[in-house]
Structure 1
């Protein structure tokens, strides 16, 4: 699913191990790993394509047996994005769990216009060039967020 050029030192977490790792990262950032935050992350990480706050609120509501407000889910997702537990896919207004929580590297997201699947690749030359261009333009703390839209191999094949 995800294509990695050269990130052999990353452990890609899945399932419970991903949820546990996210909890460790959030607590290390000085935040509390509440039951609600854990539920939101668990639902988010169960998607293999970007999920909206409404999708996640529905999933958490089903898990908890009572309705959950999308607003409270939005706040938690914003926290996850700030702490690198999740990435926001701007063009889809949706979120994707980071499979190596807390790791800050510049991903290039590939999003299929047809089925909505998202994968990412790492190309440090490309994101490095974008970072440098931003700094030359007088920007500090430049973080490239790159999204490529198109059709995935499944939808074109």
Structure 2
């Protein structure tokens, strides 16, 4: 991976283009883009902060007028994370839609402890350093996730 840094904010505009990119990415991995998967991705993409499976289940239940179980949402979110359609904010067990599903990077999240706003950064140099440090310690990193907790500029 070439060392570079760029910023992706998880609340970048969602819509038909993002859904189409997500669908193409999922289908390229050999999975189907079902109506339920589309509904869950759409709900996730509309949140302006990381959302739990329960938040997403509630949103989909309201929009479809029928109860959607959080267990079903968790299974689909696991699939989305594996296919790079969503990222999991580990410390809050919440998810954000990946606005760039065709862009593979290790996650670096900046999480505001006051308002919950979360910014996703891609910095391959930092991620590569973490991977190399893990390997030097005899550890095989699969998918590093780095979270920096603190206060955003709005809350500081």
Equivalent pair of 2:6/2:121 in contact (CA under 8 Å) = no
Q: 1:151 to 1:6 in 2, by over 3 A?
A: closer
Tell which has more relative contact order, 1 or 2 (C-alpha 8 A, sep 6+): 2
> Distance between the aligned counterparts of 1:79 and 1:122, measured in 2?
21
> Distance between the aligned counterparts of 1:6 and 1:65, measured in 2?
40
- Distance apart, 1:128 and its partner CA: 1.1
Aligned-partner SS, 1:18:
helix
- Distance apart, 1:103 and its partner CA: 2.3
Matches within 5 A, 1:18-33: 18-33=18-33
Give aligned pairs, total: 149
Per-residue CA deviation, residues 83-110 of structure 1 (Å, 9 max, x unaligned), is 1100110101100111111422023100
Please report the TM-score for the alignment, with normalisation by the length of structure 2. 0.89
> By percentage of residues, which structure has more strand?
2
Q: 5+ unaligned residues in a row in structure 2: which ranges? A: none
> Distance between the aligned counterparts of 1:62 and 1:27, measured in 2?
27
Which residue is equivalent to 1:49? 49
> Distance between the aligned counterparts of 1:123 and 1:84, measured in 2?
17
User: RMSD value over aligned CA atoms?
Assistant: 1.7
Aligned-partner SS, 2:155:
helix
Please report the TM-score for the alignment, with normalisation by the length of structure 1. 0.88
Q: 5+ unaligned residues in a row in structure 1: which ranges? A: none
